[in-house]
Amino acid sequence: MSELKDAESAEISYDFDIHSPDIADTVYDVYAEMREKCPVAHSPRYGGHWVATKYDTIHEVLRNPGVFSSESVNVPGTIGQDGPMIPIEVDPPDHQIYRKLINPLFSPKRMADLEPRIREITNELIDEMLKHEKVDFIDAFARALPSKVFLALMGWDLGDSEKFNHWADTIVLGEPGADEERATEVRTAAAMEVYAYFAEMIDERADSGDAEDITQILINGRFEDRELTQFEVLNILFLFLIGGLHTVQGQLAHTVIYMAEHPEVRKQLVGDLSLVPTAVEEMLRWESAVCPARVVKEDYVLDGVQLKAGDKILIPFASANHDGDQFPDPDTVDLTRDPNPHIAFGAGNHRCVGSHLARLELRIAFEELHRRIPDYRLDPADPPVRHLSQVKGVLTLPLIIGESV
């Protein structure tokens, strides 16, 4: 039996910084090296934390919420929210009670009703894009679609979409180039504006009498034998904003970058749009943007490494989804890949509640984009700018319409 390793073991120490712009373009190589050398690694950053990079190990963490608590999913600990984010930072048994309330709001059947509206919004954005030879795909499409769809889902004013995007950007990214203190300051300020906006929506809808209205369902929601507090409703809405915009935006952008750079794969998709559902799953596997953390609640041995109560561990889903022990030929995109049990939406009890909505948005977007814009390419003189952070994304994506490489 080999000795247990721990936080002091030099061979598993790895200087990994999830917020470093320097590795935004190369993080998959970093993960590959970590899976090979130190699949449960200790990074000195942010006061010291663990990073697990194998699919099975991350699965073990996700399936064990008693040991691996979600009480704080960020590194460092806050993105400006007031109290734990509901339900993502709530553990069982309370977590289940919130999810019972929220699941039906995002059920596949409810989402299917939204399909025509999503298609309409998608095509309006494409109409606009087609008027130009070059667009910033982020501004022109990827940023706009999820916020408009979210506002449509809520029955709020689609005109507020730009405001929403600004808030979500600030909260998720802080202020580009600012130090940590300043970043926390701007995040907190944006979060306060979001809470104020939501409070206004709640007031407007408190007695709309519409049984299908999501705001109304939440206001009338119950936590066992009491009503939800306004604070809880605000926190739930806050998380929809944080969880539902950047993620879809990033996924759209990552896919378009890949398809722009790989015309043979894009042509395969353009030639057979029935591939879109498996293509969506494959691109989710290929670029899994989310990397949450868990807090270790009791001493635990994970893959031969001794974790201690109070430690924090990062679980990059992108790394799990490129693990060759789970996915044959993991670094190849195969639009027909099957099986593809990727965990881009997480796994275990915090499985993304918005996954049915996200999948629908991604499917419609890729159908309509590739039906109407079969050719597009990057501009070598003006390449996309990516950012890492716990929700990996793309800041700008200049795209030339109607040409292929």
Partner 1 sequence: MSETSTASVDREACKGHGRCYMTDPDVFDSDDDGFPIVIGAARTPAELAELDRAVNNCPERAITVVATP
Which residues here bind partner 1, judged by CB under 8 A?
100, 103-104, 106-109, 277, 338-343, 345, 347-349, 351, 355-356
Contacts of 148 (CB under 8 A, 6+ apart): 121, 158, 161
Out of ligand HEM, partner 1, none, what residue 277 binds, judged by CB under 5 to 8 A for its kind, is partner 1
Name the nearest CA neighbour of 314 among 338, 343, 294.
Answer: 294
Contacting residue, 24, 99, 270, 395, with ligand HEM by CB under 6 A: 99
Distance (Å, whole) CA 331 – CA 371: 27
Count of residues binding ligand HEM (CB under 6 A)? Answer: 26
User: Going by DSSP bridges, is the β-strand pair 134-136/398-401 parallel, antiparallel, or unpaired?
Assistant: antiparallel
Closer residue to partner 1, CB minimum distance, 109 or 131: 109
Q: Which of 138, 140, 307, 358 binds ligand HEM (CB under 6 A)?
A: 358
Could you tell me which residues are beta bridge partners of residue 377? 400
Instruction: Say if CB 23 and CB 286 are below 8 A apart.
Output: no
CB of 53 to partner 1, least distance (A): 17
Rounded least distance, CB 143 to ligand HEM, Å: 14
Residue with Cβ nearer partner 1 (108 or 271): 108
Neighbours of 220 (CB within 10 A): 14
Q: What angle do CA 218, 223, 227 make, to 5 degrees?
A: 65
Please identify, using beta-carbon distances, which residue of 317 and 366 lies nearer to ligand HEM.
317
Nearer to partner 1, 21 or 348 (CB): 348
Partner whose binding site includes residue 188, from partner 1, ligand HEM, none (CB under 5 to 8 Å by kind): none
CB environment 357-380: b (16+ within 10 A), e (fewer): bbbbbbbbbbbbbbeebebbbbee
Token pair 């990057």 is found at 378
Q: Identify residues 298-357 at the interface with ligand HEM (CB under 6 A).
A: 317, 344-346, 350, 352-354, 357
Count CB atoms within 10 A of the CB of residue 3. 8
Question: Do 387 and 396 form a contact (C-beta atoms < 8 A)?
Answer: no
Strand (E) or helix (H) holding 188: helix 180-205
**Cα separation of 270 and 400, whole Å?**
17
User: Is residue 247 at the binding interface for ligand HEM, with CB under 6 A as the rule?
Assistant: yes
Question: Which one, 187 or 285, has the nearer CB to partner 1?
Answer: 285
Residue 53 interacting partner from ligand HEM, partner 1, none (CB closer than 5 to 8 Å by kind) = none
Q: Binding residues for ligand HEM, per CB under 6 A?
A: 70, 73, 87-88, 99, 150, 239-240, 243-244, 247-248, 251, 289-290, 292, 317, 344-346, 350, 352-354, 357-358
